[in-house]
Amino acid sequence: MQHLITPNDFTNKEIKVLFEDARLFQDLQSNNLLNGKLIVTLFFENSTRTRSSFEIAAKRLGAAVVNLEVQTSSTKKGETVEDTVANLNAMKPDAIIIRHSECGLPASLIEYVDCPILNAGDGKNAHPTQALLDLFTITEYFNGKIKGKNIAIVGDISNSRVASSNLELLPRFGLNPILVSPTRYQVKSKFKTTTNLQKIIDDLDIIMSLRVQHERHDSNTLVQDLEKEKQEYAKKYCITKKLLKDKDILVLHPGPVNRNIDISNEVLLDKRSKVLEQVANGVAVRMAILKKLILQ
Ligand code: ASP
């Protein structure tokens, strides 16, 4: 049984096949490949894109979806997540999709299930489907010629599961990540790291902007200090037209975008920004992943 906990659960060869399927699903039309299958989603952390993307992907493949409302579930009555998952598993779903704030939780649930577990984000640890859809979007944009491309990952690297999964995945396909962030969001890394985006802009083919994960920071920061911190951050790291000029740079963001802090309004409207293509590709890639894991 294959699960998807981190991007390393799929080989490069498997990912290439997955992307061939995703390309076929790119029109986002319905089919009946997963007719009669049932998928459970369990989101213990907020989500707009990932949860709806998985649900739409499952429904486009003809599967039924049960979204467990965790706010009203028995975990609120003291049941452990392991017991909740074991109970759901007893009802014989064909896959369980889980998001949780605890790093490593989805991996620890594998022993309680007889169906694939898909990690939809565990704390700051991993977000494999986001990294796969990012790689797919990059591959499509450059018509497959992605080897040697330089990608700046800009933002709260230390708290971002999107950064960690992309750093695991992108170099396997020949991309060169450069980590760009204020010192306080830096991590120890084998990749080039800088605080100065302006200085490296001419070397870049792709910018992946990330949200600052304030919810994972010290919650004692005063509201006015937080606002000041955001504005200070934006001055150096917001992706603006002034920064991009007329350079041919692909601009990505996993969402939710903090407008004019992560990316300016103007750049979001620019054809170099492929943020909504990422969202559309996310459904196609998740269709391919669900097909692969459920029909394995
Ligand atoms: N949507 C992404 C995630 O779930 C990024 C973010 O929340 O900023 O990690």
What's residue 289's pLDDT? 99
Arithmetic mean of pLDDT, 245-258: 97
Kindly write down the DSSP assignment for every residue of 69-113, as one continuous string: -GGGSGGGGT--HHHHHHHHHHT--SEEEEEESSTTHHHHTGGG-
Q: Domains (ranges, CATH) in the chain?
A: 7-127+279-294 (3.40.50.1370), 130-274 (3.40.50.1370)
pLDDT at 136 over 90: yes
State if residue 255 touches ligand 1 by the CB under 6 angstroms criterion.
yes
Q: In what order do the strands lie in the sheet with 206-209?
A: 192-194, 176-180, 150-154, 206-209, 250-252
Binning pLDDT at 50, 70 and 90, where does residue 224 land? Answer: confident
Atom number in ligand 1 closest to CA 120: 4
d(CA 200, CA 17) in angstroms, rounded, equals 34
Residue 208 CA to its chain's centroid (Å): 11
Write down the mean pLDDT value for the chain: 96
Arithmetic mean of pLDDT, 130-151: 98
* Cis peptide leading into residue 256 (ω within 30°): yes
Binning pLDDT at 50, 70 and 90, where does residue 75 land? Answer: confident
Residue-wise pLDDT tens digits, 153-199: 999 999 999 999 999 999 999 999 999 999 999 999 999 999 999 99
Supply 82's token pair.
């392991």
Of the listed ranges 222-226, 232-236, 238-242, 273-277, the least confidently predicted one is: 222-226
Q: Looking at the DSSP assignment, which residues form a beta bridge with residue 193?
A: 179
What's residue 20's pLDDT? 98
d(CA 199, CA 180) in angstroms, rounded, equals 11
What's residue 69's pLDDT? 84
Instruction: Report phi then psi at 14, rounded to 5.
Output: -60, -40
User: Which position has the token pair 């999107």?
Assistant: 162
pLDDT at 142 over 90: yes
Ligand 1: centre distance to CA 82 (Å): 24
What's residue 211's pLDDT? 95
Atom number in ligand 1 closest to CA 160: 9
Binning pLDDT at 50, 70 and 90, where does residue 240 land? Answer: very high
Binning pLDDT at 50, 70 and 90, where does residue 105 land? Answer: very high
Of the listed ranges 56-60, 72-76, 256-260, the least confidently predicted one is: 72-76
Binning pLDDT at 50, 70 and 90, where does residue 76 land? Answer: confident
pTM given for the model: 0.97
Ligand 1: centre distance to CA 127 (Å): 8
Ligand 1: centre distance to CA 253 (Å): 9
Supply 115's token pair.
């169906």
State if residue 96 touches ligand 1 by the CB under 6 angstroms criterion.
no
Nearest CA to ligand 1 atom 8: 211
Select the more confidently predicted residue: 279 or 73. 279
Arithmetic mean of pLDDT, 62-67: 98
Supply 171's token pair.
């170099």
Q: Are 22 and 285 in contact (CB under 8 A)?
A: yes
